[in-house]
Structure 1
Amino acid sequence: MRSVIHFVFFFIIVFNEAQVNGTLNNKRFPDDFKFGVATASYQVEGAWNEDGKGENVWDQVTHRVPSPIVNNDTGDVACDSYHKYKEDVAMLKDLGVDFYRFSISWSRILPTGFDNKINEAGLQYYKNLVKELRANGIEPLVTLYHWDLPQPLQDIGGWPNEIIIDKYVDYARVLFRELGDEVKYWLTFNEPKQTCNAGYGLAQKAPFITSPGMADYLCTHNVLRAHAKTWRLYDEQFRKDQKGTIGITLDIQWYEPSSNSTADIEAAETKMQFALGWYANPIVYGDYPSIMQSNIARRSAQEGFKESRLPQFTEEEKKYMKGTYDFLGVNLYTASLVRATDEPNPSMGLDEDSEVLAWQPDDWETAFSSWLKVVPWGMRKLVTWMKNTYDNPKIMITENGYSDSGTLEDDGRISYYERYLSSLRDAMEFDEVDVIGYAAWSLMDNFEWLAGYSEKFGLYHVDFNSPNRERTAKKSALWYKNLLETRCLVEECVD
């Protein structure tokens, strides 16, 4: 609990002013700070069964009857980026972004998930996209995996089956070999907590399996080992010639102590370790957070298990995994309050194993998505916590965004971006956090998983009732374009 004691005054005093001060930071973002936007393959590409692409878990889920998706929506066509990528790049060019973060569909490259057969048409699509980006002066930032596991691999157990580790590395090798000369920024996984906890624990994401505190822990164990093996592969076989960099994107909300009591401060630290430390701690330090290990081992014994439900790394694996990152990507949208409890939930699961309570107050500002409370000061707190917890890593905000029901006059989105970016700039200026870039979510309205097309996050509106999927710039797109030109959140910045 050393870190908890270290941060007690940091939480209570240093950020007290930031919680109530609405003044935007007036310092210009550094010239080498990179601005971009983000999308994901299943959410924008469409062409779900064209040109040799195989079925993935989201194809399978969205075609179920009854469908778990709002309005029975699917990603079959989505934004039709498979056919309209040049139009997408033109929008990116007009925005003036430094980079475009997109993901690659594993099933489009390897239709069965295995590398015995490469789908050349699918590979060519990504080669064309990268070429188009490069021709327009835009850096590609490629996410290898954004939730869309090939269905044949799910059929043999998916991520909880350790056979998938080598299958993922085989897939990554194909992409490094085929695209690595033109791609210098890679992310192994997007939000593995959602893949594992939501996908295999809580049945909230594909493949919709309910096995909390069991399959989600097995999933994470294999994802982490796949990440480490892929990072080592790139570092040992491709980095020298391709001169790229590779990280991982983790999702987190800030967890704020609900009072100044030591118990609540410790509870918030525990929640951070269970949410972010679950992935970051092994990648940075080689093993799961100690509070996770002790809590889950104790609770597993009480439940009658012969060993902890949390898998263990061997000593060799710990050494192999430690330090397998060049930068840490972070997806942040919101925050919650946390307090200690004397009556832990006896059920199995990630939240239950943490033995703390987290919630979002009803009176906090809320976006269209009920989970998305607008809490800008959480941005500064989070990245500063990461600096101090993980030995000052390079951090890239790989997603941050605001939902509404759909309007071109999206002032709420502009206000959200202004305040969150101001908080981020504060962290860079006052706390000396090494933040290297920021990607807005999202370039355009797209398929938002269980919410289908009912929630809009885009800088560009997409007419999903139009066969052409017409794109239209929103007010926020014009605002973001101006930000990228001036690198300034206010009318007159101080260098």
Structure 2
Amino acid sequence: MARESFSAFLFLVIFSIANCDNVTLNNHFFPANFKFGAATAAYQIEGGWDEDGKGLNLWDWYTHTYPDRITNEFTGDVACDSYHKWKEDIQLLKDLGANHYRLSLSWSRILPDGTINNVNQKGVNYYKNLLETLRANNIEPMVTLYHWDLPLSLHELGGWLNPLTADYFAEYARLSFQLFGNYVKTWITLNEPQTTCVQGYGNGEKAPGYNHSGEGVYQCAYTHILAHAKAYHIYDKEFRTQQQGRVSIVLDSAWAEPASNKTEDQIAGATAMAFSMGLYANPIYNGNWPQIVIDRVGNRSANEGFSRSRLPEFTQEQLEFIKGTSDFFCLNSYATDHTEYQNGPDDNIGDPSYVLDIGVRQWKDESWKSVVNWVDLVPWGFRKLINYVWNTYGVNEIVITENGWADVESILEDDDRITYISQFLSALLDAVYEDNVNVTGYTVWSLLDNFEWTNGYTQKLGIVQVNFTDPNRTRTPKSSYTWYQNVLSTRCLVEKCEE
């Protein structure tokens, strides 16, 4: 079917797709200042893993050393080959009508050993060309400094369990601001520290694969927060006046819906949110770890025989240094969990455990549409999460920096993705117009099907299909690309919108 005919066909059918779920989409226009975009990350799309002086990073090492931990023993060695096909990616963004492109820099492509003593000029040139071309096409780069691909040399020094990693990150951030600040007005320091800390250093599901549940998660969180604050202050003091940009950190969470109106389940929901979101957001926006986290980890640590809490304590100087280090709130979310009380701070004392520290049980409702366990079609949970962030952290602006649907088959007519994104965007509009929350942007994950970490290439989240069996990594826009293109053009989710 010709592209133009397909677009017209899709415009006619999208409304019936939404109606299949008996959902009435919000019929307001998106606000005039609302920005749309798409996201990727360096390791997941670039490839070129050992080209032009790039150093090894954590995921290079992990996929090569433990191939059995990745579905089908896939790697990101080539991925989408965006190291060579970046111009095609920009053309896709331009044709889409995207206002911004959220991408990440590969730390080890710029600094092969992670330190500023060894700058790889070819890596610098790659990003300068990419960023300059985005700007030339009126696409704002939204640049993430770190999206999980820690230089291997820093991992060997302890990674995010080593507080010195915060200092190395701060030096890398300063260099990035110097090199790319003329092109970049929106900086993100770190992507989803919760995922890194819980799955990388807590339960071992992702690189580096550590199982230090009761201690590693908190030390990792501590180092991430200090790294972010150091980078923020560097930009604030040395670059903001001249470059006129802004800085934030991407935080992620599912919404924790209390399983009942029982007091203990209401507390369970609040506790789950304090550990998943608050552990990272509260020091930045409210000035310390959430009190419920301090209390639960402290009590359980004492009962386990520790002389001090397993949760690191910030000094007063650090608390003052960290608080307020964000210019807006970046939120990633894909899912909702039913949440109920499981154990108190004095129950099940034994080996240190992050899961027992939280003390809740979470599960998915069987009626919620889902293909993979971390993405489900629960738009009302998304709206509640947006309101939770707005009301809990006193922010003045929220930008959705990731949200999207996962398929497990490579399909072009991805109606489920259209349904998911349309309903989540509708919930976002509900938050804007009915709840008076200032949400100013939405970023779909992802522009491209890509390397989805330990799931390899078996989970497809792109609005553009990538043929990973083709050496050319051919890109083909899906139905969702054309639908999203129409939303960006009309700024409307339904056939006729109102102001």
> Normalising by the residue count of structure 2, what TM-score does the alignment of the two structures yield?
0.94
Report the AA paired with residue 427 of structure 1: A
Report the AA paired with residue 221 of structure 1: Y
Deviations 1:358-390 (A, max 9, x none): 1112332112x2332221111110011111111
With over 3 angstroms needed to count, the CA separation of the structure-2 counterparts of 1:82 and 1:345, relative to structure 1, is: farther
Report the AA paired with residue 390 of structure 1: Y
Unaligned runs of 5+ in 2: 1-20
Report the AA paired with residue 231 of structure 2: T
- Give SS of 2:161's match: coil
1: CA distance between counterparts of 2:173 and 2:55? Answer: 17
2: CA distance between counterparts of 1:173 and 1:371? Answer: 34
Deviations 1:428-454 (A, max 9, x none): 111111111110000010000011001
Report the AA paired with residue 221 of structure 2: T
- 2:355 match: 351
1: CA distance between counterparts of 2:103 and 2:354? Answer: 29
Equivalent residue for 1:448, pick from 429, 449, 452? 452
Indicate conservation of the 8 Å contact 1:392/1:433, yes or no: no
- 2:312 match: 311
Deviations 1:56-92 (A, max 9, x none): 0100011125431111100000000000110000000
Unaligned runs of 5+ in 1: 1-19
Indicate conservation of the 8 Å contact 2:328/2:395, yes or no: no
Equivalent residue for 2:435, pick from 414, 431, 440? 431
Deviations 1:111-132 (A, max 9, x none): 0001101000001101000011
- 1:258 match: 259
- 1:109 match: 110
* Segments ≥4 residues shifted beyond 6 Å: none
- 1:10 match: none
- 2:378 match: 375
Deviations 1:166-194 (A, max 9, x none): 10000001100000011000000000011
Indicate conservation of the 8 Å contact 1:186/1:247, yes or no: yes
Q: Does 1:366 align with 2:370?
A: yes
Report the AA paired with residue 389 of structure 1: T
> Normalising by the residue count of structure 1, what TM-score does the alignment of the two structures yield?
0.94
Indicate conservation of the 8 Å contact 1:345/1:355, yes or no: no
Report the AA paired with residue 352 of structure 1: L
Indicate conservation of the 8 Å contact 2:248/2:327, yes or no: yes
Equivalent residue for 2:389, pick from 353, 374, 386? 386
- 1:470 match: 474
- Give SS of 1:67's match: helix
Indicate conservation of the 8 Å contact 1:61/1:67, yes or no: no
Report the AA paired with residue 412 of structure 1: D
Query: How do residues 314-333 of structure 1 correspond to structure 2 at under 5 angstroms?
Result: 314-333=315-334
Say what the alpha-carbon RMSD is for the aligned residues. 1.2
Q: CA deviation at 1:153?
A: 0.4
1: CA distance between counterparts of 2:266 and 2:468? Answer: 46
2: CA distance between counterparts of 1:290 and 1:403? Answer: 35
Indicate conservation of the 8 Å contact 2:97/2:488, yes or no: yes
- 2:99 match: 98
2: CA distance between counterparts of 1:97 and 1:39? Answer: 13
Deviations 1:383-409 (A, max 9, x none): 111111111331111000001121000
- Give SS of 1:63's match: helix
With over 3 angstroms needed to count, the CA separation of the structure-2 counterparts of 1:269 and 1:86, relative to structure 1, is: same
2: CA distance between counterparts of 1:212 and 1:472? Answer: 41
How many correspondences in the alignment? 475
- 2:17 match: none
Indicate conservation of the 8 Å contact 2:334/2:374, yes or no: no
- 1:3 match: none
Identity of aligned residues (%): 51
With over 3 angstroms needed to count, the CA separation of the structure-2 counterparts of 1:475 and 1:40, relative to structure 1, is: same
Please say which of residues 336-345 and 161-170 is displaced more in the overlay: 336-345
2: CA distance between counterparts of 1:481 and 1:413? Answer: 14
Q: CA deviation at 1:163?
A: 1.1
- Give SS of 2:213's match: coil
